[in-house]
Structure 1
């Protein structure tokens, strides 16, 4: 049976291939809902009287399954059809967001019910994330990967510019339920589009589950650049999510203009993401991993600005710079990963990376929520910013990070581009 991987690839133009267009369209549709979801989730907790502790619990329950099930998701992505995994994962996420929207709309939402829906959404993500990373490498030729990764992020980031503002207005005017319902609809549409990809399973030697996991772990440990990047990400991701997702909405509600101003901050962040994507369409750095590590340090800027009590006029450009740095980091990292990890191992390698980066997130949420009660919230934000900067600097001190070159691939053989 012919798969998307058999489709011809046009030089420099992955958008001309039908499978890539279908995949990118699904990403775009889903992004129109995802852009509103974090704000809607935060204010669905706030609307039912929850504070830092309740929001922290909800975010933890969204993160826990990505730790518990991500290894299984990576294993399946190396053994099964990635398009089918993407279809089922998006369908599960649609059901979880629809259930959440109904409970919020009917006034039946509690911290427990919101957390339960978040658990289902996190479970879906644990299977779709490694499958999506490998699917791109199946659809696109190696020399076009950076352009493809940037193009995939371009329409979604464009949507995110207006999405948070629209989400803030919707939440402020009607409550969180409508934004959550729209997120559910977009997941369902994306699921149908992704099912049509019809990607075959990777051509990977099949052993037992434990044997495959042991082989994956051995491959992960053997790549110093990969496990050190993951170790730094353990600190960086936890500090960023705890500072921005947990404390950000609460600080906006207390010190700024609530949902409206937090929507503006997220929109500025999204503008930065879009700018980062445009940079990646024009600039192809040789040392892609070095660029990814350095650019990720920009995430400290908006947390430092809010922690210092800066006015909104300064927080907004700080958020924009953070978004620019993050998108450059994501595109550079994704491309380096796809070039230097063989296709049949990408599911497991991305799962080990994902588990490592998320390992400290639940603890970070809980510790940050407790610290926000015991100490000044601004001081906690400054601590989060300091941790992000330190993680980036220390990772740049690893020599192997600077040896990951875009002109080589799959741990050695030269690739075009």
Structure 2
């Protein structure tokens, strides 16, 4: 199986690989648009007279295809050139955001048209997400995968701190259409860069799609560490979304100084993500999966702090620690996945794993709706923190978690 030409060369850092530098640049460019897109999308709905119901419909139509088509995306990521999939996926997203920008700019946007563009963007993501994991493993030698994963997240996390601010200024000054147009341009630019990777298809044998899907499920289920991590991650992400993203602003309004303090909490979390990336550039733990599972448990900290009515400084510190833990968990998990899942299966394994994360979105909101009938906001927050801690501890009880460790390069 052919990979990027430089992958056979011994290097000290993945940044010496031209293909990886191209991938990082494409990721950075795309991230600048993606950071502004949620705010621009919300205000495009507001500008055409929509309310919470319309925005909910738009967000749902963006999320649904990532669940429905993700398995297909995983199969194709193992059958076709991943660089071509990334090119076509980004090009499709560019077209969808471009069409949305035009309709918003001309005043012809409706909830239905905005939702349709969101559906197309979500469909594109369902094919690009599984291809991304395998593409990195094709480009970068195994011993440099953690550094590569951290370097990829470094610009993305930096943009998360500044992007929403820039997006807010653009929307306030010029309207949502300009921010959406920029998002479209960044997708198109990333598509051109990714096409230049020219990665070959991982699979050479010709088999049916359903055969590949069944084989993928067998491979997923046979790896206990993979499906238990996915199951625990689904609970963890659902509890985090319900506690931090949904209830966090309400608690900030009730017990702190409202929007101002909530903005500080979000900034602390984003800063923690960036700090976690920097840690991963230096620290290379041997027990990759153990670190990934344990570090993810830090998400319980800010939920517990807010539930207990802790002082703002303690909440900010816990949010920062949660960001550090989450980014370490993501980098360690991604590296373990890339090193322990064969190239020919990474697309499908990534898709099965990704479905759990996406199912967590409606699951988190359902948890909140049911719990809110019996408990107050602080009680629900404490329960969400408890779920995160319980999922983490249960996952640490799985013996296979301690067997998925860093593959140390053997010097010849």
Q: TM-score range by the shorter chain?
A: 0.7 to 0.9
Aligned residue number for residue 411 of structure 1? none
1:71-123: CA deviation from partner (whole Å, max 9, x where unpaired)? 11111011101011001111222233334444555565555544433322221
Aligned residue number for residue 224 of structure 1? 224
TM-score, reference length from structure 2 = 0.87
Q: What SS does structure 2 have at the residue aligned with 1:35?
A: helix
1:349 to 1:115, Cα distance in 2 relative to 1, 3 A: same
1:296-337: CA deviation from partner (whole Å, max 9, x where unpaired)? 112233344455556655544333222211110111001100
Once the two structures are TM-superposed, the CA of residue 167 in structure 1 deviates from its matched residue by 3.2
**Equivalents in 1 of 2:362, 2:46: separation in Å?**
20
**Equivalents in 1 of 2:306, 2:100: separation in Å?**
30
**Equivalents in 2 of 1:120, 1:139: separation in Å?**
28
1:367 to 1:178, Cα distance in 2 relative to 1, 3 A: farther
**Paired residues, what number?**
410
Alpha carbons 1:78, 1:204 under 8 Å: kept: no
Alpha carbons 1:73, 1:347 under 8 Å: kept: yes
Mapped pair 1:340 → 2:340: yes
1:363-394: CA deviation from partner (whole Å, max 9, x where unpaired)? 43355467669975554444333322222121
Aligned residue number for residue 391 of structure 1? 391
1:23 to 1:191, Cα distance in 2 relative to 1, 3 A: same
Structure 2, unpaired ranges of 5+: none
Alpha carbons 2:80, 2:203 under 8 Å: kept: no
Task: Report matched runs for 1:277-292 at 5 Å.
Answer: 277-292=277-292
Once the two structures are TM-superposed, the CA of residue 46 in structure 1 deviates from its matched residue by 6.2
Task: Report matched runs for 1:159-170 at 5 Å.
Answer: 159-170=159-170
Q: Which moved more, 1:10-19 or 1:94-103?
A: 94-103
1:114 to 1:371, Cα distance in 2 relative to 1, 3 A: farther
1:363 to 1:377, Cα distance in 2 relative to 1, 3 A: same
Q: What SS does structure 2 have at the residue aligned with 1:205?
A: coil
**Equivalents in 2 of 1:172, 1:386: separation in Å?**
40
Task: Report matched runs for 1:10-409 at 5 Å.
Answer: 10-42=10-42, 48=49, 50-51=51-52, 55-105=55-105, 111-171=111-171, 176-248=176-248, 258=259, 264-308=264-308, 313-366=313-366, 368=368, 376-407=376-407
**Equivalents in 1 of 2:286, 2:60: separation in Å?**
37
Q: Which moved more, 1:196-205 or 1:310-319?
A: 310-319
1:267 to 1:288, Cα distance in 2 relative to 1, 3 A: same
TM-score, reference length from structure 1 = 0.86
Q: Which moved more, 1:270-279 or 1:224-233?
A: 270-279
Alpha carbons 1:165, 1:264 under 8 Å: kept: no
Q: What SS does structure 1 have at the residue aligned with 2:91?
A: helix
Alpha carbons 2:31, 2:156 under 8 Å: kept: yes
**Equivalents in 2 of 1:180, 1:249: separation in Å?**
26
Alpha carbons 1:56, 1:366 under 8 Å: kept: no
Q: Which moved more, 1:308-317 or 1:159-168?
A: 308-317
1:142-181: CA deviation from partner (whole Å, max 9, x where unpaired)? 1111111111112222222222333344455555444333
1:337-379: CA deviation from partner (whole Å, max 9, x where unpaired)? 0110111111111111111332342243355467669975554
**Equivalents in 1 of 2:298, 2:104: separation in Å?**
35
**Equivalents in 1 of 2:72, 2:171: separation in Å?**
36
**Equivalents in 2 of 1:374, 1:182: separation in Å?**
45
**Equivalents in 2 of 1:301, 1:110: separation in Å?**
41
**Equivalents in 2 of 1:107, 1:85: separation in Å?**
33
1:245 to 1:95, Cα distance in 2 relative to 1, 3 A: farther
RMSD, aligned CA: 3.2
Q: Which moved more, 1:158-167 or 1:183-192?
A: 158-167
